[in-house]
Structure 1
Amino acid sequence: MAHHFSNKALGCFLFFSFLLSSYSTYGQSHFILDPIEDFGDFGGDFGGDFDDDVTIINENDFAPAQSPSIITDSPTPAPAPEIEIENVNDKNNDASATSFPNERLRSAYIALQAWKDVMYSDPYDTTGDWVGNDVCSYTGVFCASALDDPTLNVVAGVDLNHADIAGHLPEELGLLNDTALFHINSNRFCGIVPESLKNLTIMHEFDISNNRFVGGFPSVVLEWPDLKYLDIRYNDFEGCLPPELFEKELDAIFLNNNRFTCGIPETLGKSTASVVTFANNHFTGCIPKSIGNMANLNEIVLLENGLGGCFPQEIGLLENVTVLDASNNGFVGTLPNLSGLKNVEVIDIAHNMLSGYVSNTICQLPLLKNFTFSHNYFNGEAQTCIPSKNSDVVFDDAKNCLPGRKNQKTSKQCLPVLTKHVDCSKNCGGGGKGRSPAPSMPKPTPSNPPKSHPPKEETPKAQPPPILPPVEDIPPTLPPVEDIPPTRAPVVDIPPTLPPVEDIPPTRAPVVDIPPTLPPVEDIPPTRAPVV
Structure 2
Amino acid sequence: MASHLVLITQWISIVVIVLISLKVKPSESQCYPQIFNTQKLNNPRLVQAQAALEAWTHSITSDPNKITSTWSGPNVCNYTGIYCAPAPDDSTVYTVAGIDLKDANIAGSLPEDLGLLTDLHFFHINSNRFSGSLPNSFTKLSFLYELDISSNQFSGPFPQVVLAIPSLRYLDIRFNNFAGDVPSRLFDLKLDALFINNNRFQFTLPQNFGNSPVSVMVLSNNDIKGSIPSSVAKMKDTLNEIIISNTGLTGPLPKEIGYLDKVTVFDVSFNKLEGELPGSMQGMKSLEQLNLKHNNLSGVVPTSICMLPKLEHFDCSDNDFHGPLPECLFIQPKHNRENS
Query: Which TM-score bucket, shorter chain as reference?
Result: 0.7 to 0.9
1:382: how far off? Answer: 4.2
Q: 1:115 matched to which residue of 2?
A: 56
Q: Is 1:306 the counterpart of 2:248 in the alignment?
A: yes
Distance of aligned partners of 1:249 and 1:395 in 2 relative to their CA distance in 1, 3 Å threshold: farther
Count of matched residue pairs: 301
Q: Is 1:144 the counterpart of 2:82 in the alignment?
A: no
Which residue identity does 1:130 align to in structure 2? W
Give the gaps of 5 or more residues in structure 2: 1-37
Q: Is 1:183 the counterpart of 2:124 in the alignment?
A: yes
Output the TM-score relative to the length of structure 2.
0.86
What pairs with 1:128-527 in structure 2 (closer than 5 Å)?
A: 128-295=69-236, 296-337=238-279, 338-384=281-327, 391-396=329-334, 398-401=335-338, 408-409=339-340
1:393: how far off? Answer: 2.9
Does structure 2 retain, via aligned residues, the 8 Å contact 1:363–1:371?
no
What pairs with 1:26-65 in structure 2 (closer than 5 Å)?
A: none
Q: Aligned partners of 2:112 and 2:301: how far apart in 1?
A: 55
SS at 1:324 equivalent: strand
1:99: how far off? Answer: 6.0
Does structure 1 retain, via aligned residues, the 8 Å contact 2:290–2:315?
yes
Q: Deviations over 1:409-455 (max 9, x none)?
A: 4xxxxxxxxxxxxxxxxxxxxxxxxxxxxxxxxxxxxxxxxxxxxxx
Q: Aligned partners of 2:67 and 2:82: how far apart in 1?
A: 11
SS at 1:213 equivalent: strand
Higher relative contact order (CA 8 A, sep 6+): 2
Which residue identity does 1:304 align to in structure 2? N
Structure in which a larger fraction of residues adopt strand: 2
Does structure 1 retain, via aligned residues, the 8 Å contact 2:86–2:95?
yes
Q: Aligned partners of 2:68 and 2:40: how far apart in 1?
A: 21
1:165: how far off? Answer: 0.2
1:152: how far off? Answer: 1.2
Q: Aligned partners of 2:336 and 2:214: how far apart in 1?
A: 35
Alignment RMSD (CA, Å)? 1.5
Q: Aligned partners of 2:109 and 2:59: how far apart in 1?
A: 6
Does structure 2 retain, via aligned residues, the 8 Å contact 1:209–1:232?
yes
SS at 2:90 equivalent: coil
1:131: how far off? Answer: 1.5
Q: Aligned partners of 1:336 and 1:194: how far apart in 2?
A: 44
Q: Aligned partners of 1:369 and 1:322: how far apart in 2?
A: 10
Which residue identity does 2:264 align to in structure 1? T
Does structure 1 retain, via aligned residues, the 8 Å contact 2:320–2:337?
yes
Output the TM-score relative to the length of structure 1.
0.55
Q: Aligned partners of 2:40 and 2:218: how far apart in 1?
A: 46
1:170: how far off? Answer: 0.6
Which residue identity does 1:301 align to in structure 2? I
Structure label with greater radius of gyration: 1
1:294: how far off? Answer: 0.1
